[in-house]
Amino acid sequence: MSLACGEQADEPISDVPPVEHVASDGAESLIPRDVLFGNPEKMGPQLSPDASMIAYIASVDSILNLWVMNADGSEPHQITFDTNRGVTNYFWAENGEHILYMQDEAGEENDHVYRLTVETGEVLDLTPFEDVKAYVSETSEDQPNTVIIEMNQNNPMFFDVYSCDLQTGELTLLQENPGMTEEGLMILGYMTDEDMNIRGMATINPEDGTIAFLLKDAGSDEWTEFVSFSALDSVSPERFSNDGRGIYYSSNLESNTTALFFQDLDTGEVTLIAQDSLADVGGVSFDPFTGEPRAVSFHYLRRRVEILDPSIQEDYDFLSGYNPGDFAAVSRDNADSTWIVVYFTPDNPATYFLFDRQTHDMTFLFTAIPALEDYQLSEREPVLIPASDGWELPSYITIPHDALDAPLPMILLVHGGPWARDYYGYDPFAQLMADRGFAVLQVNFRASAGFGKEHLNAGNKEWGALMQDDLTDAVHWAIDQGIADPERIVIMGGSYGGYATLAGVTFTPDLYCAGVDFFGPSNLVTFRETVPAYWRPMDAMMDIRVGDLTDDLEMLEDRSPLNHVENITVPMFVAQGENDPRVVQAESDQMVEALRANGNDVYYVLYSNEGHGFAMEQNRLDFAGRVEEFLFNHVPGVECQMFQEIPGSTAEIR
């Protein structure tokens, strides 16, 4: 099917007649979807260890592949020739001869680790096993031809640790994960020190979710408990010190937000290094020579960096004044004299520069989506929204740059996770909808991560309850502020955001005029029963965060939108990846079946070669176009561009 927005199709996409309006005269001036949702032109640059070359990702025939060029930008050439899902997760090996990348086949998330020889283009699958998930967990400048790979070949629930010789591809088992300790604790995984010795182990009590970290000396078999904490707290090891006699870690055991600490393992002395009262520890930058932390980032409404090492203060002062966006150093050479710096702004996902630390020369590399410079994008404003009980919700509102004063149609765009968050910066859906005339509201509701454990834990067992109330309260705030037209509010989201969409139209049926759910659980019981095997060790944590399948069964059933489809009265759009291992296809199938049995209006699209998200450009463009057309047909007063079926998309209308 292909039609201009507002034009009547021979077979309407829903049983409810479309809104009687037509595309505006200015529709041709709107930002094209392929600019917002197409593959970036270039992205993800990484310096080789000796700074002589830069690898990066670029799109070729709609597939993302790896390229390399000299550091001065000369002789760019393609080095991978993938024709399937593309290459997006890669890094240089410390030997400078190889690049390693991780990739699955069709969204099932069984990633293999591949070794690419840069000079010859030869690709070797280092983990050539079926139905196995593998990843690189450690590299070392001191052992440039060795990497640590973890994979679940022996048991899909648990990951064993291997050393891999990059020259031969040989794997050597370093630590088999038996799954359980003698005390009946599940082993979540292991941690190596800077010499690639296994020194740390994480366990979880399957009964109550208590987590413990154990440490041992290199070569020893004797584990000693380092720390134990409840599922309501967080301790996260960052790395061992260079001499192996200390450990850096973040913890909120004695505070609301996580702080960065160092503990001397010989004396037990603990030193507080950095903390923010509003946000958890984000990224930590360590000195490549001393191994000591030199900068810590925190992100409340905007990103803040705390400098710990005066030797980089001048660098950060210069970089912060160079561009108004939030920035980060994303790559460096082994000499630490050259950095690749990226700036993030609401009007472009990434702008990259090569930074010479000695001269402070900034050499422009590229912008991820240069075509965006031809259009005016909308500003993204951080706001604090009070919930009805006084809880504070860090949020972002995007208003169309040419909006009138009258209340606007609005999208409530709900993030996934839910133990994740929305950030300041570029968001393609927020920009698409703002360009079409919508205000877009994004809320870090209770259970969102990064704002301290009180905010996180306030969402425990609150799916469809307080977490949903926060979203409802935020919508009422937007109405009260004169931003949102109460008759034209859409709820939309993926993953947990998809669940929140279904819950929103179910439990607050009069608040929204339409819903867009992609990859969302419809039944909390069947969702918990069908998660991937390697999630199973975290079942006790899920019992606490979502609800226990035995003790909380009645609550989970009551909070499941599938069981209340009779409440839904608005048009629905549902999208699903056929190979999704996290929220399986049955979650969407059963919801659509129930909606149609109830006489509801629902438009269902299945993508056969996708998992939990969109990796394929054609499918991403197809989805964005179908969503835009759906909203145009059901929300008066918004603009739209013609939707045409995308060649190569695997969309199947169900």
CA atoms of 36 and 25, how far apart (whole Å): 21
**Residue environment code for 267-295, b if the CB has 16+ CB neighbours within 10 A, otherwise e:** eeeeeebbbbebbbbbebbbbeeebebbb
Distance CA 518, CA 350 (A): 26
Active site includes 104?
no
Alpha helices in 370-516 (DSSP H): 428-435, 453-457, 466-480, 496-507
The encoded tokens of residue 454 equal 């009180």
CA R_g for the chain: 25
Which of 519, 372, 384, 517 lies closest to 431, judged by CA? Answer: 372
From the list 160, 347, 580, 622, the catalytic residue is: 580
Spatial strand order of the sheet with 246-251 comes to 235-240, 246-251, 259-264, 270-275
- Cα–Cα nearest to 151, from 176, 168, 170, 169: 176
Catalytic position from the list 48, 612, 622, 634 = 612
Structure tokens at 126: 């280092």
Q: How many residues does the chain have?
A: 654
DSSP H helical segments within 303-394, as ranges?
313-322
**β-sheet bridge partners, residue 46:** 55
Q: How far apart are the first and last CA of the chain?
A: 13
Contact 488, 635 (CB under 8 A): yes
> What distance in Å separates the CA atoms of residue 629 and residue 641, rounded to the nearest whole number?
8
CB 500 within 8 A of CB 444: no
Backbone angles phi, psi at 567, to 5 degrees: -80, -20
Q: How many CB atoms lie within 10 A of CB 552?
A: 17
Residue 155 CB neighbour total at 10 angstroms: 14
495 is catalytic: yes
Active-site option among 495, 522, 588, 649: 495
Judge residue 497's burial from the number of C-beta atoms within 10 Å of its C-beta, 0-12 exposed, 13-18 middle, 19 or more buried.
Answer: buried
- Residues 6 or more apart whose Cβ sits within 8 Å of residue 481: none
Residue with tokens 């004063």: 405
Question: How many Cβ atoms from other residues are within 10 Å of residue 586's Cβ?
Answer: 16
Q: Which residues are catalytic?
A: 495, 580, 612
